[in-house]
Amino acid sequence: MNNLLLLAAEAAAGTEQTAKGSNWFSMVGMIAIYGVIIFAMWFFFMRPQKKEQKRIKEMLNAMEVGDCVLTTSGFYGIIIDISDDTVIVEFGNNRNCRIPMDRSAISKVEKADQGSGADAK
């Protein structure tokens, strides 16, 4: 009878150890799942945004005098001068409207050798 009680006590202790081990494993699994979710969110949301920022930076660095640009406000113009952080853009056909702008105000650049819609007329 005494041995039977000891065996029951050992079995209960073994069950507790197994429960503690599976609890640790489930916590590690949960942390791994959160890690995968965070990586997936970075991969699908942050990575494309950084690629787009890199593309815009390369486009702005490749601007040259004579290129046709589209500003963020929707105006088309031609670059007549470029400095470090400003660009002077000429708007209209009468060549009297020259506005200095920040480089970040340009959303699209068409190279002069491609032929833009404004020069086609």
pTM: 0.57
Q: Return the pLDDT at 121.
A: 38
44-80 burial: b if 16+ Cβ within 10 Å, else e = eeeeeeeeeeeebeeebeebeeebbbebeeeebbbbe
Which pLDDT band, with edges at 50, 70 and 90, does 116 fall under? very low
pLDDT tens-digit series, residues 34-83: 999 999 998 888 889 999 999 999 998 889 998 999 999 999 999 999 98
